Amino acid sequence: MSNNNKIIEIKQLHKNYEVGDETVRALQGIDLTINKGEFVAIMGTSGSGKSTLLNILGCLDRASEGDYWLDGSNVKKLKKNQLAEIRSAKLGFVFQSYNLLPRTTALENVELPLLYNPSVSSKLRREKAEAALVAVGLKDRMKHLSNQMSGGQQQRVAIARSIVNDPVIILADEATGNLDTRTSFEIMALFQDLNEKGITIGFVTHESDIARFTKRNIVFRDGRIIKDIETENRARAIEAIRELKNEDYLLN
């Protein structure tokens, strides 16, 4: 790769699904490059192909055609177990429904990805998990059980889990979809904060209200990218929260 800043490079990516006799063309020739330090919103209506792309970016699924380089290695040629290793070493996931292990402490949830990495000692695992929880602002809730936390807190634990292995990119799938507006903004503030610290983020959402906090918006329709622009008037989530408070005040 000529440019060391490229985290993700995709060329002429196609993804076809066989549904009965029909072939569904979910992605039709995508070209995309994401550089280090970007905060990209991948937008589109349901069925536009954004989730399919996210799955491929996340090495959970493989493309039918085209090439995908993740941090310099061509993922297309890798086998199932090698993909798992890539996920373990280079990727972090945040899901809409958090997907925390129930009845398990925040700390143990965050440690989980490192348990699958044999090169991490249990001491280092603990230290990294604690650092990640501090980074998401849950320093005082490490020993709390996941099911005793609010949605926002659970998503923070999930974000801590996604950064604990120092991934090259965090992929978030509708990460604010289950949260109310204020908590969504708080989560976006956290993402902005992490991004400012140099973490690259790919963020799938269908809400433009959320997408305005990112740096770059990519819009999908029918398996193609129809728009790829820098975010105009990028909003700061902390300020948005402050404005919400003002609105609450005015309403009362």
Distance CA 97, CA 118 (A): 28
Q: Which stretch binds other proteins (CB under 8 A): 1-9, 38-46, 103-111, 211-219?
A: 103-111
Which residues, in sequence order, are bridge partners of residue 42?
204, 218
CB of 80 to other proteins, least distance (A): 7
Q: Least CB distance from residue 61 to other proteins, whole Å?
A: 6
Q: For residues 218 and 41, give the distance between their C-alpha atoms in angstroms, rounded to a whole number.
A: 6
Which residues, numbered 18-47, are part of the site for other proteins (CB under 8 A)? none
d(CA 75, CA 227) in angstroms, rounded, equals: 25
Tokens of 200: 């690259």
Chain positions 158 to 217 lying near other proteins, rule: CB under 8 A, are: 161, 165
Rg (CA), the chain: 18
Asked if 130 and 160 count as a contact pair (C-beta separation under 8 A), the reply is no
* Cβ-based nearer residue to other proteins, 189 or 204: 204
Contact segment (CB under 8 A) with other proteins among 15-23, 58-66, 211-219, 228-236 equals 58-66
- Contact residues toward other proteins (CB under 8 A) are 55, 58, 60-61, 80-81, 84-85, 87-89, 91, 93, 95, 99, 101-104, 108, 112-113, 115-118, 161, 165
